[in-house]
Amino acid sequence: MEILKHLFLVGEFPERTRLLSGLTLEQVKRCPDGATHSIYEELWHVVAYQHSVVGSGDPDGDRFPSAPPKHEHEWNDLVQKFLNGARVAAALGNEPERLASELEPGLTLGEELQCVALHNAYHLGKIVALRQRIGAWPPEAASDPS
């Protein structure tokens, strides 16, 4: 099921590695006037939700970070955690039996992954909008920080 690779990594809008590339620590911490969250906070939120489904995250855990990052490696680590989770989700497309398994009555893993992909798209769109507002869009060049 290549659709999951399309939804989580490469399709419909810029590849996720490109979308998240070329940002400085100051840029990811900045919350422009009128915005509710910074780029870092938006991605942190995405990672928390995505990880609750494809990792071992707590589905009832914190939804946003309690503090901004102090070091650039914290941002880079977060990007890697997001990309790794997205790759795991995409790889599940090769496991139709797992996708059909029920997480709870009436909800399969495949359906839940579609929800995660939609949630990611919403917040990644907000990240693009924040990048545009702070003059950090488009990224210079595609780079895969992995």
To which residue do tokens 């929800």 refer? Answer: 115
> What six digits make up the tokens of 69?
């990052």
pLDDT in tens, 76-101: 999 999 999 999 999 999 999 999 99
pLDDT of residue 60: 78
HSE value, Cβ hemisphere, 13 Å, CA-based, for 5: 6
- Per domain, the residue ranges of the chain are 3-133
In CATH terms, is domain 3-133 a member of 3.40.50.10480? no
Going from the C-alpha of 25 to that of each of 39, 70, 72, 125, the distances in angstroms are 10, 8, 5, 20
Q: What is the mean pLDDT, run by run of 10 residues, along the chain of 146 residues? A: 90 95 98 97 97 84 92 98 97 95 95 97 98 95 51
Q: What angle do CA 77, 82, 86 make, to 5 degrees?
A: 145
Nearest to 21 by CA among 50, 45, 52, 43: 43
